[in-house]
Structure 1
Amino acid sequence: MSDWNPTMDLENALNLLSHPYRRAILYCLIEADESLTQDKLAAQIGTWQESAAGGPSEEVHQQICIQLSHCHLPKLAAVNVIEYDKRHGDVVLADKVDDLQPLLDLIQPVDDFPKEMCDCPCQ
């Protein structure tokens, strides 16, 4: 970790990673290694949240989409961790995700969002 020289301070990085939806967004984008739509990200998060109930209802899916579009995606985009095309709903990793990668690597093994969730329809 001695080579890690982030341009983002630790408090801001931890704030960005404090919500499970934002961590799930980053896990899926990193795993996919390509752009994903807001709809696909919402489906992944909904499946994770509602896995015991057999998957997300349309209402839950819409609620997640609203939260992503109004809160979580703009927050990540504002600090250049992702690029978010509001018109088309496309989301892709941006330059500053590298500042968060060491923290994500520490958090993901103990996080509730399973990595294998990103291998589903997200691709």
Structure 2
Amino acid sequence: MAQTRQATLETDTVFTILSNTTHRSLLWYLSAVERATVRELAGHLAPSNDDGSDSRLESHQSALVALTHDHLPRLAAYGVVDYDRSADDVTIGPNFDEVKPFLTQFEDVEIDSVE
């Protein structure tokens, strides 16, 4: 069953999307690269642990499952990303520009809280 995409986003919807840390991280990454595979996104989300342990692999697998079954379909339904499941491809969607100004504000807040 195909999901309908929202033509424009209400401010409350934008804040709902950006209230999720994973969504913010994905959108920041895509704003820099504009196109990525689901595996690349999972690698970005999974904590880096270069010791080759099973926990890194499990974390990457968990990120793949969450992206495929939750985050990407949800963001695609809002038109923030375009997600081609069969090609394993994710790009910036037509409503991304509605989220981007708020995403920039979140970055400023997160940087200030770290400093």
**Fold shared by both chains (TM-score > 0.5):** yes
The corresponding residue for 2:31 is 30
Q: 1:19 offset after TM fit, Å? A: 1.1
* TM superposition score normalised by structure 2: 0.80
Distance 1:62 1:109 in 2: 31
- Contiguous gaps of at least 5 residues in structure 2: 1-7
Q: 1:65 offset after TM fit, Å? A: 0.6
Q: Look at both structures and tell me which one has the larger radius of gyration over its CA atoms.
A: 2
- Contiguous gaps of at least 5 residues in structure 1: 1-6, 113-123
The answer to which structure, 1 or 2, has the higher relative contact order (CA under 8 A, 6+ apart) is 1
Q: 1:12 offset after TM fit, Å? A: 0.7
1:57 aligns to what SS in structure 2?
helix
The corresponding residue for 1:84 is 83
**1:1-123, aligned counterparts within 5 Å?**
7-33=8-34, 35-46=35-46, 50-51=47-48, 53-54=49-50, 57-111=56-110
Q: 1:27 offset after TM fit, Å? A: 0.6
2:91 aligns to what SS in structure 1?
strand
Distance 1:69 1:26 in 2: 15
Q: 1:71 offset after TM fit, Å? A: 0.6
Deviations 1:72-115 (A, max 9, x none): 00010001111001112100001100110110010013338xxx
Distance 2:45 2:110 in 1: 13
Q: 1:21 offset after TM fit, Å? A: 1.1
Q: 1:54 offset after TM fit, Å? A: 4.0
RMSD: 1.7
Runs of 4 or more above 2 Å deviation: 53-56, 109-112
Distance 2:108 2:65 in 1: 28
Distance 1:54 1:106 in 2: 32
* TM superposition score normalised by structure 1: 0.75
Aligned pairs, number? 101
